[in-house]
A and B are shown apart, each in its own frame.
Chain A
Amino acid sequence: MTLNDALKEYCLRIADNSSILAHRLSEWSGHGPILEEDIAMSNMALDLIGQARGFYSYAATLEGKGRTEDDLAFRRDTREFVSRNLVEQPDNKDFGTAMLRSFLYSCLSYLQFRALMNSKDETISGLSAKAIKEVTYHVRHCGDWVVRLGDGTEESHRRISNSVEDLWMYTSELFEQNEVDALLVKEGVAVDLNTLKQDWLNLVDEIFAQAKLTKPAEGGYQSSGGINGMHTEHLGYILAEMQFLPRAYPDAIW
C-alpha cells in the first residue's frame, strides 16, 4: 500500500462516518421532539455533510481517476464503505438513542480532529481545523441531552439506559485500526487511536456520571470490522435510500 492509497482510504473513512451519521440525523428533520431540536439536529447533519464533502473531495483528488465527491458517496456499495458501525445504527425515532449515538461518535471525532490539526498533511490539518469547531458543539449539545435524559424522569432514565445497552457494543470498534493507520501514523499524517482511548473514556465517564448512567459490564459482544467493510444489516438500507437517484438514472446530472 502506498502512502497515497492509505491517505485516500483514511479520508474515505472520515467522510463515510460523516455522511452516514448525517443521514441518520437528517431522518429527524420535521420529526424532532421540539422545534429547537429540529434545528439543532439539522445543524449537526449539515456540519457532517460539509465534512464529508471536504474529505470525499480530497479522497477523489488523491485517487486521481476523475471521480467526484458524489461518485464516492453515491456509487460505492456497502462492502466498500469504511465507516464505523456505530453511526449506521438506527434510532427508531428514539431521541435519546440519536443523541447518545452522536455523543459517543463525536467524542472520538473531536479528539481525532484535535490531533489531526497537527497532521503533516496540510489538507488534513486544514479540514480538521474547520471540523473541530463544529464537533466541539456536537459533543456539548448531545452530551447535555444525555445528562438531561439520564437525570430527568424515571422514564427518560430507563430509556437512555436502554440506549446505552444497545449502542455500547459498537464503541470498542471506534478504535480499530489497520495497515492504513500504521503507515500514516509513522509518517505523522494520522493519529494513533490507541492514544485517544483514555481521553475518550474520560469524556464519556464524565457525562455518564452527571447523567447517572453506568457503562455495561465488559465481556459482551463487541462489533468489529467497519473499517474493513464489514457492516451491520442497516447500512444496506441506508445506501439503498441514499443512492437511489444516481443509481436509477446513471447518466443524469442533478
Chain B
Amino acid sequence: MHFVNRNLANPKQTSNIGMETTLSVEELNKREAEFDAKIAGGKTIEPKDWMPERYRKQLLRMMSQHAHSEVVGMLPEGNWITRAPSLARKAVLLAKVQDEAGHGLYIYSAAETLGMDRSEMIDQLLSGKAKYSSIFNYPTLSWADIGAIGWLVDGAAIVNQTVLAKCSYGPYSRAMLRICKEENFHNKQGYQIMAYLMRGTKEQRDMAQDAMNRFWWPALMMFGPSDTNSPNSADLMKWKVKLNSNDDLRQRFIDRTVPQAEAIGLRIPDDKLKWNESTRHYEFGEINWAEFNQVISGNGPCNKLRMKQRTDAHNNGAWVREAAAAYSAKKAASKK
C-alpha cells in the first residue's frame, strides 16, 4: 500500500527547494552559469541537480498541469465506455482511458521529484489553482466524439509530447518517451473509429462530420495562445523545457491532419483553409481566442461538470483512503 503512505507522508524534499536562501550572490551566479551551460550542451537536468527556482516552478506547473489533463481527460471518454457499440470497441476504449490514468500516475511521480506531493497537486487541481487542458471542457455528445478525441486530441498531444520528449528535465523527457508510444495507439484507434463511420451509413457519416465540426477548433487551441501572447514562452525556450513555439506546433499538427481528414472524406470546418505551395504549409482561419480565454478562465461548457466529477470522486473516495491508511498503520503496529 505504498501509495496510501505516500499520501499521508510529508512531501519528500527530493530537489533543491529553498537552497537559494543559503547561497551567496556569487555562488548563485556561478551555479546558474553552470546550469545554463549544461542545458546549452544538451545534457539533461536530473532531480538532485541544482536548478534555478524559476525553472523548478515552471516545470512543476507544466508537469502537474499535464498530469491533471490526463486525469480530467479520462472523463469525456469515460462517458462512452458503457455505451461503446461493440465489445471490441469497448475493450479498446477502456484500455485507452486506463492508459490515461497510467500517464497521470507516471507524470505525477515525475513531478514529485520536483518536491511536491501528489496529494498536494490534486488539492491544487480541485481548488482551481492548477489548470488542465481546455479541450476536456467540451462535451462528448456522440460515439463519433470518441473517434474525434482519439484522432484529433491525442494527435495534437503527440505533436506536443514528441517535442517534450527532448526537453531538458530528465524525468519529464523519459515519461514523454514512454507516453508517446501509447498515444500513437490512441491516435490510431480514434482515426479508425472515424474511418469506419465515414464508410458507414449516412447517419454515421453525419455523426462523424458533426464531431469534426465541434472538435477541430478546440483541438487547434490545445497548442495554446499565439506566441506573441504566450507569457511563459521565453523562459521555457531558453531552458529547453519548450523547444518549439505554440504556432509552429499548431502548424505541424494542421499539416499532418488535413490530408488524413481528406483521405476519409471529412471536411475541415474552416473556409479559409488552403494549401500554400510556396510555404509548403496550410493556411488557416482565425482561431476564436475569445472562446479559448473564456474556457481557460472557467467558462467553458463542461468546466463546472469536470471539476464536480473530480471533486466527487475524490470526496467519495476519502473514506476508502482513510481506511487503507488505518489498516496499514494497524498492520505496521502489530509487526513491532
Contacts and interface: CB of A to CB of B under 8 A. Distances in A.
Which of A19, A29, A56, A95 has the most CB atoms of chain B within a 10 A radius of its CB?
A: A29
Interface string A146-188: 0111011101100100000000000000000000000000000
Report which residue of B87, B95, B104 has the largest number of chain A beta carbons within 10 angstroms of its beta carbon. Answer: B87
Contacts of B326: 152-153, 156
Contact of B327 (A39, A147, A155, A252): A147
B11 interface: no
Contacts of A29: 74, 78, 81, 94, 97-98
B82 A26 contact: yes
Interface of B: 1, 3-4, 7, 71, 74-75, 78, 81-91, 94-95, 97-98, 101-102, 104-105, 108, 143, 193, 196-197, 200-201, 203-204, 309, 312-313, 316-324, 326-327, 330
Given A29-B74, A156-B322, A246-B85, A252 B316 contact: no
Contacts of A33: 313, 316-318, 320-321
A45 interface: yes
A156 B323 contact: yes
A36 B85 CA distance: 27
Interface string A21-56: 011001101111111111100110110011011001
Which has the most chain A C-beta neighbours within 10 Å: B104, B108, B196, B316? Answer: B316
A156 B320 contact: yes
A69 interface: yes
A26 B82 CA distance: 7
Nearest to B75: A30
Given A39-B101, A42-B101, A49-B87, A26 B319 contact: no
Nearest to A53: B87
A210 to B, nearest CB: 10
A84 to B, nearest CB: 20
A73 B86 CA distance: 8
B91 A49 contact: yes
A33 B108 CA distance: 16
A122 to B, nearest CB: 23
Contacts of A36: 3, 105
Contacts of A5: none
Contacts of B330: 151
B87 A56 contact: yes
Contacts of A244: 83
A27 B317 contact: no
B309 A252 contact: no
23 contacts: A22-B90, A27-B81, A29-B81, A29-B94, A30-B74, A30-B75, A33-B317, A34-B4, A35-B71, A35-B104, A35-B108, A37-B317, A53-B87, A95-B316, A96-B320, A148-B1, A152-B322, A153-B322, A156-B326, A251-B201, A252-B201, A254-B89, A254-B200
A206 B101 CA distance: 32
A102 B45 CA distance: 45
Given A33-B313, A148-B1, A254-B89, 10 more contacts: A26-B90, A30-B74, A30-B309, A37-B317, A43-B98, A152-B327, A244-B83, A249-B201, A251-B201, A254-B200
A52 B12 CA distance: 44
A101 B327 CA distance: 21
Nearest to B95: A46
A208 interface: no
Given A29-B81, A30-B75, A39-B102, A155 B323 contact: yes
A156 B319 contact: yes
Nearest to A151: B327
B3 A245 contact: no
A251 B86 CA distance: 13
A34 B317 contact: yes
Which 4 interchain pairs have the tightest Cβ spacing?
Answer: A33-B317, A152-B323, A156-B323, A30-B74
Contacts of A152: 322-324, 326-327
A242 interface: yes
